[in-house]
Amino acid sequence: MNVGLKTQIIPAGKAAVAAAARALAEGGLVAFPTETVYGLGADATNAAAIARLYQAKGRPAFNPLIAHIGDRAAARRIARFDAQATALAEAFWPGPLTLVLPKTQNCPVADLATAGLDTVAIRIPAHPLAREILRAFGGAVVAPSANLSGHVSPTTAAHVQGDLSGRIDLIVDGGAVAVGVESTIVGCFDEPMLLRPGGLPRAEIERVLGRALKQPPSDAESDNGRPLAPGMLASHYAPRAKVRLQASSIAPGEALLAFGLGAISGIDGASMVMNLSERGDLDEAAANLFGHLRALDSKGAHTIAVMPIPDEGLGEAINDRLRRAAVGRE
Ligand code: TXA
Ligand code: MG
């Protein structure tokens, strides 16, 4: 177990980029900000580094990783693009979209990172610091969210530190991220499929494709029994507290996670109140979601009652993460 490492924290800047690139080249584990959430990076070609990454997160190795690359030429060395995948990459990269594509014959990404699948998940992140690190390192970097497996994803360097200090080599602190929920994942199969709602709204993708995205089967298994989205375990984004959804009133002592300024009965008896977005803005709510869940949790909330959130735009990703947070705890 790689507990007991001395985890360095370096603020964004030239020195941080150089240290990150060096650590990745040496097989180290480096947390860095992307526009969606903080990622925990390792050299995508280095199986030993990837094994340490799974261990540091406590993540089951059957759950494959996203390869982050700097440009589309690098993407084409890793995966095969059909016309639809090309259209999506051109429209949305760099940005919060991950494409699941067939691997190339000489795909450099280690088999351990793709969990033995013949597909690979890739994206070009938009965060300037992530892009500089990828450029300085010069290769693909696999990066899951930089949290312990099962926890909510980190949106600040302090969240990463709370989960992974002593288990990884370096944290590059680039401040709070902009989007706040993970990338949208589209499986580029015969019919493109929404494997995970995320930071890029479904409607924008469907506009470019000129068709609706397919929904994965509810058991998330394809006909040959292979998982389509292996990481979409029901209970995944789990705070310690119980999470109660679609709350229309607050029971005494419950914590309230509010959205907008609508009235809700029982609010005077709430143990604490945090608002995802007072002005009812779904982008702002996404940026606040994981930070607010962590804050309510660390202040000892036993139940978090969540007001209804519209299922449009980033609301689809917010509601997906909240449903997972609530599983087994209602
Ligand atoms: O925004 C994000 O996507 C962040 C930042 C760091 O880029 N990363 C992230 O990674 O959320 P992670 O590991 O927490 O989630 C990746 C998801 C998992 O659900 C995994 O099962 C799925 O992508 N995935 C990876 N490769 C896949 C593949 N070949 N087929 C289907 N799903 C795949
Ligand atoms: Mg994750």
More confident residue, 250 or 237: 250
223 has pLDDT over 50: no
Residue 149, ligand 1, Cβ within 6 A: no
Report the alpha-carbon distance of residue 250 to residue 258 in Å, rounded: 11
Asked whether 147 lines ligand 1 (CB < 6 A), one says no
103 DSSP assignment: B
Q: Which atom of ligand 1 is nearest to the CA of 182?
A: 1
Helix, coil or strand: residue 193: strand
Ligand 1 site, residue 155, Cβ cutoff 6 A: no
Distance CA 65, CA 72 (A): 19
Sign of CA dihedral 308, 309, 312, 315: negative
pLDDT computed for residue 62 by the predictor? 84
CA of 145 relative to ligand 2 center, distance in Å: 4
Cα 129 off chain centre by: 17
SS3 call for 185 = strand
Q: Are 59 and 144 in contact (CB under 8 A)?
A: yes
For the stretch 263-283, pLDDT in tens is 899 999 999 999 999 999 999
Average pLDDT over residues 228-254: 80
**3-state class (DSSP) for residue 201:** coil
Token representation of residue 239: 């705070």
> Of the residues 53, 120, 145, which should be mutated to test ligand 1's pocket, given the most ligand atoms within 8 Å of the CB?
145
Q: Answer for the pair 256, 305: CB distance below 8 angstroms, yes or no.
A: yes
Tell me the C-alpha distance between 19 and 15, whole Å: 6
Q: Is 36 in the pocket of ligand 1 (CB under 6 A)?
A: yes
Atom of ligand 1 nearest to the CA of 36: 1
pLDDT band at 4 (very low <50, low <70, confident <90, very high): confident
Closest CA to 303 of 258, 263, 245: 245
Q: Which ligand is nearest to the CA of 153?
A: 2
CA torsion sign for 108, 52, 127, 19 is negative
Q: Is the CB of 37 under 6 A from ligand 1?
A: yes
Tokens 């139940």 label which residue?
303
Closest by alpha carbon to 303, among 252, 264, 248? Answer: 252
Binding site membership of 230 for ligand 1 (Cβ less than 6 Å): yes
Structure confidence by residue, pLDDT tens digits, 63-91: 899 999 999 999 999 999 999 999 999 99
